[in-house]
Chains A and B, each alone.
Chain A
Amino acid sequence: MTTTEKIIIESAPMEDTPDTDILMEVKDLTTYFYTEFGIVRAVENVSFNIKQGEFFGLVGESGCGKTVTALSCLKLVRFPGIIEDGEVLFRGTDLLKMRDKDLRKIRGAEISMIFQDPLSSLNPVFTVGEQIAEVLRLHEGLKKDVAQERAILMMKEVGIPLAKERVDDYPHQFSGGMRQRVMIGRALSCNPSLLIADEPTTALDVTIQAQILEIIRQLQKKFGMSVLLITHNLGIIAENCHRVGVMYGGYIIEMASVEIIFKDPRHPYTQALMAAIPRLDLTVDQLQTLPGSVPDLIDPPSGCRFHPRCPYAREKCTDEVPPLESWTPDHNVACHFHEEISNI
């Protein structure tokens, strides 16, 4: 209980407030999967932006489209997934219109991504040093030994003890937390301006989670990069992020600064999340306060995808998809009746 309160109070310290240049802007991103069971409408009209040096959180239940959103940003969605619509403007150029060759120069060098499972994110047949060095050789054209030296430096940077000795070890010789550190080191080795971290701590146990996030936070400050942090853990959001987008059924349904999201949520779904705050240690998936289940993205509910579970649902909600509207300049909500819904 006390930790919970502390989290809310301490969240998003003001001195960290980033400068306002927009690094990446995602506009109306829509991605479908054409499976044999039907079209999976995984991401619909998602728009958000990440500013220079900002820690942006994306939160939502499992299966709501967070990972697909992140992959779409890097144009990494593979068959049967197709990016139907949208723009991903990175420093003003649309990544989705780029040629593959140019895009490869951005991936890993400008935008890096780390995944949920550090166990499977590293290739079992190469040493960790080789795998970090690979990125450096790929993007900076470094010689093998130089790259290896840099890999050791990077391993020190992410807090791997005895980096020099361990550089020639294989992934299976590392613990989960250490592997995730290696992954972070690998992703940051070329000093990217954006790190996409897709549930970087979900597979780790709690004490390690904190350490990993601490490292990401430290390196973010040190290198001044932006971070897109995907999670389904509200505690992680509260502790780390400046701004948050809440996803539900492929849509971003609310987006605001962390304080606003926690203190003044406007969307009934976000409110339901916040209602579970005393038990913040729970993940969003374990949320019991809402009736009904996660929407089926093959045959999604008409209108607002949340309406079958919404206590305030009216006729309009079944007919029309609510647009993501500005409620206050820094607070966007996608609910037809967000003005009427009182804060709980």
Chain B
Amino acid sequence: MFSSRTQRRKKKLLKKLKKSRTKKASELSGSQLAIAFRRFRKNKAGLLGLMLALIIFLIAFFADSLTTFPPLEPMGLSYDYTPYYLPPGTVEGAIATRDTGHLIYYISPDFPFQDGSFETPDFVLSQRWDVEEGWEFVSLLEGQPVIFGWWAARSTGEGILSQNLSSDENIDLLYTQIVFQVYLDGEEPTTLYVFFTYEDGTYSKTYEFNIDGNNTWVRMNEYFYLYPFNMSIREKIRNPVKISFYKDNNGSDILLDYITLYAGEYFQNEHIFGTNWWGHDLYSKLVKGSQVSLIVSIGAIILSLAIGLPLGLVAGYYRGKTDEIIMRITDIFLTLPFYFVMILVIMVLTDTPDLDNLIIELGITAEIIVVAVLVGLGIFGWMGITRLVRATIFQIREMDYVEAARCLGASNKRIMIIHILPNVLAPLIVVVTFALAVNIVAEAGLAFLGFTDASLSSWGRELEDGVRIVSVAWWPVLFPALFIITAVMSFNLLGDGLRDAFDPRLR
């Protein structure tokens, strides 16, 4: 008689056996890809790589909602009270307007305002940042009286435009004092009209001023109601106000100038990674920068594939002279020193005056740089793919199934696309994953060499910024480097895992 313990053991063993058997059966079913996938699932390092890679992609995808500060465009303005490169953990206030990115400036919570108050405002009006004309003496109509010097937001010196930031408790509207100067050349008294309109046209208001024309500057200091009652801050932010100034010219109004005021919201956040050389929130910039980094490296791979795959297929399948020519082109590209060529391109793009002007005229500097880096990486990245595809095809075309397909009447094109290409796919997936890692490093390298634009944020660019001040601050170097290392490592782990999964020797 068996003891109950032995019986139990036996049962357990049988159960285990059964489990392993069913597992084996399921392991063998499905396509090559399905099998590879199942094997990949058991690869811990590969899974880790996949997870990290997915996280990075998610970060890039949801970058806009993940940022804690609007990723700033460099302002080139120095506010004396804003310390650069704040260490991780510093809390700062900031003002964001509707078009986030047009953040006006950071405010240290403990910094006293011009008026001596320590109170942080909850609402600020500002002129749109990129309307540079607003800062200068501008006349829209030549020979006409000039309105100039619009200054939005809390002013520094002799406030030309300043606001009363506090709204009356009883009247929920913004009561703003706008100071403006008008030069009038006529002798006769004139009427000056000031129109307030919202962008979407839902609100408008007109003010009228009578001015004695006396050929001098007229300084006016008037209070305006910018927003109606019961308007929430969100709505105010959504509704920039356009203020137009008209002069009555014997019945026909003449537009003197206009200004658009953007409401901004004050908020306060922690710089978890500190700030960079410009005082921008490093975390937000890196999160946002993942988009450029990934777009460039993925785009470059797509370009490389578009060039390399057909060339490899053609070279591998037709062999002979075709192969010879394609391989020599590949060799030529392989001998070109990548960084040297790219530096030449930088010089051409940045130092040639004509092209420079062209870029400024087109106003797409950042995009051009992104595209240039993408194209550069793509053009220098296809050779490996061509060689791999060619070598794989050399191997596959000797397989009997290609011969068998030919025997059964399949055409060259059909054999290439139906029978050879799917078999090239597996090694290609692996190579593409590794290439992703290489491209991220190369993009960072190029940014580091200066192949970037001031308004661009990518991991490589942040690293480059950080290196400039590495002697005084460690975080602007460490965090971009961590992002790059994590991305490269995850893609490499993923590539390794995929290679193991597809490797026929393990099958």
Contact = CB atoms under 8 A, between A and B. Distances in A.
Interface of A: 74, 76, 79, 104-109, 112-117, 120-127, 134-135, 138-139, 169-170, 172-173, 183, 186-187
B320 A122 contact: no
B404 interface: yes
B404 A183 contact: yes
Interface string B415-442: 0001100110100000000000000000
Contacts of A117: 400
A104 B409 contact: yes
A121 B400 contact: yes
> Counting chain A CB atoms within 10 Å of each CB, which of B29, B406, B411, B414 scores highest?
B406
A112 B408 contact: yes
Interface size class of B (residues with CB under 8 A): 20 to 34
Contacts of B363: none
A241 to B, nearest CB: 21
B329 interface: no
B259 interface: no
Contact of A173 (B29, B320, B403, B419): B29
Contact of A106 (B320, B405, B409, B414): B409
A222 B399 CA distance: 31
B30 interface: yes
The 9 A-B pairs with the shortest beta carbon distances in the complex, nearest first, are A108-B408, A108-B409, A107-B409, A113-B407, A120-B400, A125-B422, A121-B400, A123-B401, A104-B409
B28 interface: yes
Contacts of A108: 407-410
Given A79-B320, A123-B419, A125-B422, A112 B407 contact: yes
A122 B410 contact: no
Contact of A105 (B28, B320, B403, B409): B409
Q: Is the interface of B mostly helix, strand, loop or mixed?
A: helix
Given A115-B403, A134-B410, 7 more contacts: A109-B409, A113-B408, A116-B400, A121-B403, A122-B404, A138-B408, A170-B32
B128 to A, nearest CB: 57
Contacts, number: 81
A217 B401 CA distance: 24
B29 A74 contact: no
Interface string B386-411: 00000000000001110111111111
A102 to B, nearest CB: 11
B87 to A, nearest CB: 55
Among B29, B33, B319, B405, max chain A CB count under 10 A is at: B405
A120 B406 CA distance: 14
B31 interface: yes
B28 A120 contact: no
Nearest to B411: A104
Contacts of A172: 28, 32
A204 to B, nearest CB: 15
A116 B407 CA distance: 14
Given A76-B403, A121-B400, A123-B405, A104 B31 contact: no
B404 A113 contact: yes
A186 B30 contact: no
Contact of B408 (A127, A135, A169, A173): A135
Given A120-B399, A120-B400, A123-B401, A76 B406 contact: yes
A109 B407 CA distance: 10
B408 A121 contact: no
B407 A76 contact: yes
Contacts of A126: 422
Interface in B1-56: 28-33
B409 A121 contact: no
B176 to A, nearest CB: 70
Contacts of A104: 409-411
A114 B28 CA distance: 26
